């Protein structure tokens, strides 16, 4: 009797089947077995990744290519072993069927089924713009899928990496979006120029208001200066008149002292004054008429000879 020993990994669910009956089962089991009578079913329970590329049509008859990735694991190993063949050769650990290799495609088919239902309810623009929303909706439906539950599979994550239209439609969308961006840029430039014109107009209005206020202040200053000059002239005129009056008064008082003198006496005083200031006199000519006036008996000062 040949006895062998089998040791599973911690993430491998093992079922030992002897004569058509399950002798033992569980995660990471290790046990001796007789190769001629024992079948070993090995179900991996670790998470695995899968990729997909779908071509679907939106409700406005536009084709899109959806590329994504998903993560799944066998959550119910017993259910999976009932629907798929996970029997292995215990010595070589080679699988006796390709069910495990076909499992990612089965999961991808379920994902595509729900993705198609979501895409067909949206337009091309909505599909591209709402890729995250579509992915979340598909993920929620996949988690509750009865097909995957029968396979004992649970999807742990689902991501749409890209949703792209056909090249021709993509170029058209890019052109339309580019024109939209250029139009927005033109509108921004126009708005900036309009704001600059408005600001310049406000600056000119403020400058004009400042000029008007300055001109008004200048007019007030001129009026004030004119009033001050007029007032100063009037004051100066009054002072001149008063000064002239004082001078006339002084001259009148000074001449009043000579009013009692005869002309000969006044003439004599004048000659005497000249003599007192002889050093200031260069030449002095006394005519005979002056002497005659002084010596004339009729003109003798005070009537004296």
295: which 2 tokens? Answer: 């010596």
CB 262 within 8 A of CB 301: yes
What pTM does this model have? 0.59
pLDDT digits (tens, 9 = 90+) for 142-200: 999 999 999 999 999 999 999 999 988 878 777 777 788 788 888 888 888 888 888 88
Q: What is the mean pLDDT of the chain?
A: 86
Dihedral sign from CA coordinates of 116, 117, 120, 124: negative
> What pLDDT is recorded for position 304?
42
Quote the strand ranges of the chain, DSSP E: 4-7, 12-18, 21-27, 30-33, 38-44, 48-57, 63-74, 87-88, 153-165
Q: Which tens digit of pLDDT belongs to each residue from 93-145?
A: 999 999 999 999 999 999 999 999 999 999 999 999 999 999 999 999 999 99
First to last CA, the chain: 202
Question: For residues 79 and 157, what is the distance between their CA atoms, to the nearest angstrom?
Answer: 21
For range 86-96, the mean pLDDT: 93
The string of pLDDT tens digits covering residues 246-302 is: 777 777 777 676 676 777 777 777 777 777 776 766 676 777 776 676 666 444 444
Nearest Cα to Cα of residue 42 among 10, 5, 3, 65: 10
């Amino acid at each position: 009797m040949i006895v062998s020993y089998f040791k599973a990994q911690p993430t491998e669910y093992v079922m030992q089947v002897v004569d058509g009956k399950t002798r033992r089962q569980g995660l990471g089991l290790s046990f001796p077995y007789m190769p001629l009578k024992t079948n070993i079913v090995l179900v991996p329970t670790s998470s695995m990744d899968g990729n997909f590329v779908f071509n679907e049509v939106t409700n406005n008859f536009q084709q899109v290519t959806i590329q994504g990735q998903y993560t799944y694991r066998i959550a119910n190993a017993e259910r999976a072993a009932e629907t798929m063949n996970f029997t292995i050769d215990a010595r070589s650990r080679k699988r006796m069927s390709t069910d495990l290799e076909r499992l990612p495609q089965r999961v991808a088919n379920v994902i595509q089924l729900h993705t198609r239902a979501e895409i067909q309810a949206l337009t091309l623009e909505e599909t591209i713009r709402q890729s995250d929303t579509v992915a979340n909706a598909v993920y929620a439906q996949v988690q509750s899928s009865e097909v995957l539950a029968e396979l004992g599979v649970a999807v742990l994550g689902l991501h749409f990496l890209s949703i792209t239209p056909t090249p021709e439609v993509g170029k058209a969308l890019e052109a339309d979006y580019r024109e939209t961006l250029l139009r927005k840029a033109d509108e921004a430039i126009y708005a900036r120029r309009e704001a600059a014109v408005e600001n310049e107009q406000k600056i000119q209005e403020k400058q004009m208001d400042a000029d008007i206020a300055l001109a008004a202040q200048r007019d007030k200053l001129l009026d004030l200066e004119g009033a001050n000059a007029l007032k100063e002239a009037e004051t100066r005129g009054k002072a001149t008149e008063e000064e002239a009056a004082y001078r006339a008064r002084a001259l009148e008082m000074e001449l009043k002292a000579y009013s009692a003198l005869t002309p000969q006496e006044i003439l004599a005083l004048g000659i005497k004054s000249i003599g007192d200031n002889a050093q200031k006199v260069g030449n002095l000519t006394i005519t005979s008429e002056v002497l005659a006036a002084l010596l004339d008996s009729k003109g003798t000062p005070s009537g004296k000879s």
